[in-house]
Amino acid sequence: MEPLVLLQVIVGGLLLGGLYALAAAGLNLIFGVMRVINIAHGEFLMLGAYVAFYCWRATKLDPLIAVPVAMLVTGLLGLLVMRVVVRRVMRGTELTSLLATYGLSILLLNVSLYAFEGVFRSVPAWTGSIGFAGLTISRARGIAFVAAIILSLTVWLFLRYTTLGKAIRATAQHADVAMACGIDIQRVYLYTFALGAALAGAAGALLITFLSVNPSIGSTFILRAFAICVIGGLGSFPGALAGGLILGVAESLTALWTNTQIAEAVSYFLLIVVLLVRPQGLLSSTGVAGGAATSPAGTADAGERG
Amino acid sequence: MSLAPAPARLGADTPSARKEERTPQRRWPHRYIILTLLAAVLTLLPLIGSNYLLRYAILILQYVGLALSWNIISGYAGYVSFGHVAFFGLGAYTGAIVMRDLPGLPWPIAIGAGGLLCAAVAWPLGRILLSLRGPYFAIAMLGLAQVLRVIASAWQSFTGGGQGVSLPPQQNLSQVYWSMLFVAVAVLALTIKIDGSRFGLQLVAIREDEPAAEVLGVDTVRAKVHAFILSSIAPGVIGALYAWSISYIDPASAFRGHITITMITMTILGGAGTVWGPVIGAVTLSVVSEELWARSPEFYLATFGGIIMLIAMFLPRGVLPYLRHLARRHRRRAAPTGKREVVAPEKGTARA
């Protein structure tokens, strides 16, 4: 194999991985703060992609401007879902919330199949490619990657330095103590869930610029996002970034050496291997800013049993 | 022993213990006659029913078997599987490939091979996956189903890839029906046997508090893996029967996510961790879904999603336990205190 081809594939994988990381960041944030795994996260991503698509079809709106629109739509939907559904099931066991969000994901998927039809859509806004140090990079992938990284960094800074961000992190570390310190944790939960949903929407709006999207992509992305969170350590924000990049490269290399179908299964094998070998994640959360410098209780549990 | 009260308390929470609270007066007086009649009708259905009715009955029995199987690992042991269709698909492919490559073999062997392979796969798989808890296990199973589908589409030479496996058309629906009836009744009998048995109590203990169960001396790994194997066999057999009756399978139909969704919805609607909950849920939802299919197929699955969500929100224990709870409260209100004391000595004698 020519080294240049290999390098090309690895760079392509990294670019894709940036998007994966953004897709996983919201899931990770919600889990870190609320201990809820939102199975409907993939559907939020899909809805974000469709917002960008309809903006493009109606007004040829640049996807970069469509990203905030998508974030707004999915964020508001997140608020609604949190208020109506998740708030009720949070007090129950972890499995109750899992079942509720699973039901929601099926509901959203099938309503979307009806509303948007099953055909694949894309937003060909940024066509062409850029030459860079002997490599060719698809323009759409490059722009989407940069946007995803900027967005991830913004959220990281937000969590690190703003009052609300600090409140979110405090709640993630210890909800009861945070409450005792005067933090309205119900409000924190509400904003966290909306922010997580908005991040999924943003990832969807960026993805559709270089990937064809139909309503059922949600289920493949929830598996990827979950694998990324586990690889990086559930609840760890930098971990999700690393996990995303690792998965992106692993998928691209597998696609190069075998075929794209098998590449789809890579996230699963990585997930299982990491869960069995290092359940706390490759970058175990060592208290770096992240939505949650929590000790991942769930993962630690899994570790004891493994 | 200071430990003694703990198992007793756990026992009091189990469905079987709740069932024992039912008094003889509450049971149907003619239930044996009714059950015999029902059994007779179910057995003789192929002789009296039309082809359509038979297909419909096969579908209902298929889901009764699937829901009851899911119930063993997810209802009793509390390890919710989001990918049980993996076993259905594995059984479907095994049965179909055995029939394709060894056409001389009697059909029950091919069908049984589906269940056998699932059990053989579930054993090592259970040892690995059941060390993951809660959401990890749920999503690992979701992924397993997807991976098996990918393998089925990619392994052209053996599984026929995207084109699937074709079998000679099925002429004898009655045979399929009786086999499906046999499987459904077998899983029901298995569940009755598990419910309230030592093994069943171990599973419930794992569901309620696994570390505590382990401290009390339950071999949790063994119990979980056994439950997982038991819950994998019937889906495998049912999958093989499905392939045999449809006489064509491909990756999309054998590993359809909506089969998992349906068995979960049915079980938690009726009541997970009970004997009759999955049966009631499967029969009710099969009838409802037939109506939904006929009227608005596009909202069929959306409705199921909504049902799962609403049950998780308002009735996390399912309908059957809720109805029992209502009935108990009603009786307590209706019966004056004196009468309740007459009833009390009957406790525990009503165990079927």
Residue among A26, A28, A33, A30 at smallest CA distance from A185: A33
Instruction: Decide if pLDDT at A289 tops 70.
Output: no
Is B302–A110 a contact, with Cβ atoms under 8 angstroms apart? yes
Is B134–A114 a contact, with Cβ atoms under 8 angstroms apart? no
Q: Report the residue of chain B nearest A272, measured CA to CA.
A: B140
Orientation of helix B198-208 relative to helix B5-13, angle to 10°: 90
Q: Report the residue of chain A nearest B308, measured CA to CA.
A: A103
The one-letter code for the residue type at B155 is W
Please state, in angstroms and rounded to a whole number, the distance separating the CA atoms of residues A140 and A125. 8
Residue among A199, A28, A36, A39 at smallest CA distance from A106: A39
- Report residue B272: phi and psi, to 5°: -70, 145
Q: Report the residue of chain B nearest A216, measured CA to CA.
A: B257
pLDDT category at B186 given cuts 50, 70, 90 is: very high
CA B250 to chain centre: 24
Considering only A155-164, B59-68, B258-267, which range has the smallest mean pLDDT? Answer: B258-267
pLDDT digits (tens, 9 = 90+) for B212-225: 998 988 898 999 99
Interface test with A, best of B133, B256, B269 (most A CBs within 10 A): B133
| Residues of chain A neighbouring B316 (CB-CB closer than 8 A) | 89, 92, 96, 99
CB B119 within 8 A of CB B104: no
CB B224 within 8 A of CB B76: no
Considering only A103-107, A190-194, B257-261, which range has the smallest mean pLDDT? Answer: B257-261
Question: How many residue pairs from chains A and B have C-beta atoms closer than 8 A?
Answer: 135
| Residues of chain B neighbouring A301 (CB-CB closer than 8 A) | 133
Please state, in angstroms and rounded to a whole number, the distance separating the CA atoms of residues A1 and B254. 37
pLDDT category at A102 given cuts 50, 70, 90 is: confident
**Vertex A215: Cα angle to A209 and A217 (nearest 5):** 70
Q: Look at residue B291 in the predicted model and tell me its pLDDT.
A: 79
pLDDT category at A296 given cuts 50, 70, 90 is: very low
pLDDT digits (tens, 9 = 90+) for B225-243: 999 999 999 999 999 999 9
Strands (E), B243-290: 248-249
The model carries a pTM of: 0.77
Residue among A24, A28, A71 at smallest CA distance from A201: A71
**Vertex B257: Cα angle to B254 and B263 (nearest 5):** 95
Give SS3 for A236.
coil
pLDDT digits (tens, 9 = 90+) for A121-151: 888 878 777 777 777 888 888 889 999 999 9
* ipTM, interface predicted TM-score of the complex: 0.78
pLDDT category at B35 given cuts 50, 70, 90 is: confident
- Mean pLDDT over each residue of chain A, to the nearest integer: 83
Considering only B102-106, B283-287, B314-318, which range has the smallest mean pLDDT? Answer: B314-318
Question: Mean pLDDT throughout B17-42?
Answer: 66
| Residues of chain B neighbouring A223 (CB-CB closer than 8 A) | 139, 142-143, 146
Please state, in angstroms and rounded to a whole number, the distance separating the CA atoms of residues A134 and B76. 60
Around Cβ A69, how many Cβ atoms within 10 Å? Answer: 18
From the list B133, B302, B304, the residue facing A302 with the nearest CB is B133
* Percent residues over pLDDT 90 in chain A: 30
Is A114–B142 a contact, with Cβ atoms under 8 angstroms apart? no
pLDDT digits (tens, 9 = 90+) for A223-251: 888 888 888 877 777 888 888 999 999 99
SS3 content of chain B, % helix, strand, coil (to 5): 80, 0, 20
| Residues of chain B neighbouring A302 (CB-CB closer than 8 A) | 131-133, 136
CB A198 within 8 A of CB A76: no
Interface test with B, best of A38, A95, A251 (most B CBs within 10 A): A95
From the list B129, B305, B307, the residue facing A110 with the nearest CB is B305
pLDDT category at B54 given cuts 50, 70, 90 is: confident
CA B324 to chain centre: 21
Question: Mean pLDDT throughout B111-139?
Answer: 87
Q: Report the residue of chain A nearest B301, measured CA to CA.
A: A110
Q: Report the residue of chain A nearest B318, measured CA to CA.
A: A96
Question: Mean pLDDT throughout B33-45?
Answer: 80
- Mean pLDDT over each residue of chain B, to the nearest integer: 81
Please state, in angstroms and rounded to a whole number, the distance separating the CA atoms of residues A115 and B298. 10
- Which residues lie closer than 8 Å to A86 by C-beta, 6 or more apart? A34, A36, A38, A97, A100, A101, A193
Interface test with A, best of B76, B127, B139, B298 (most A CBs within 10 A): B139
How close B293 comes to chain A (CA, Å)? 14
Is B308–A89 a contact, with Cβ atoms under 8 angstroms apart? no
Please state, in angstroms and rounded to a whole number, the distance separating the CA atoms of residues A235 and A80. 23
Question: Mean pLDDT throughout B309-331?
Answer: 81
Is B146–A265 a contact, with Cβ atoms under 8 angstroms apart? yes
pLDDT digits (tens, 9 = 90+) for B253-274: 888 888 888 888 888 888 888 8
| Residues of chain A neighbouring B128 (CB-CB closer than 8 A) | 272, 276
Please state, in angstroms and rounded to a whole number, the distance separating the CA atoms of residues A215 and A111. 9
Instruction: Decide if pLDDT at B25 tops 70.
Output: no
Strands (E), chain B: 165-166, 248-249
Instruction: Decide if pLDDT at B4 tops 80.
Output: no
Please state, in angstroms and rounded to a whole number, the distance separating the CA atoms of residues A251 and A265. 9
Is B304–A92 a contact, with Cβ atoms under 8 angstroms apart? no
Please state, in angstroms and rounded to a whole number, the distance separating the CA atoms of residues B133 and A302. 6
**Vertex B174: Cα angle to B170 and B175 (nearest 5):** 70
* B268 reaches A (C-beta below 8 A): yes
Q: Look at residue B1 in the predicted model and tell me its pLDDT.
A: 36
From the list B142, B264, B307, the residue facing A223 with the nearest CB is B142
Instruction: Decide if pLDDT at A107 tops 80.
Output: yes
pLDDT digits (tens, 9 = 90+) for A264-276: 788 888 887 887 7
| Residues of chain B neighbouring A220 (CB-CB closer than 8 A) | 146
pLDDT category at A4 given cuts 50, 70, 90 is: confident
| Structure tokens, B99 | 């029939």
Question: Mean pLDDT throughout A72-81?
Answer: 95
Question: Mean pLDDT throughout B128-156?
Answer: 84
Is B301–A110 a contact, with Cβ atoms under 8 angstroms apart? yes
How close A139 comes to chain B (CA, Å)? 30
**3-class SS string, A118-139:** CCCECCCCCCCEEEECCEEEEH
Q: Pairing state of beta strands A135-138 and B248-249?
A: unpaired
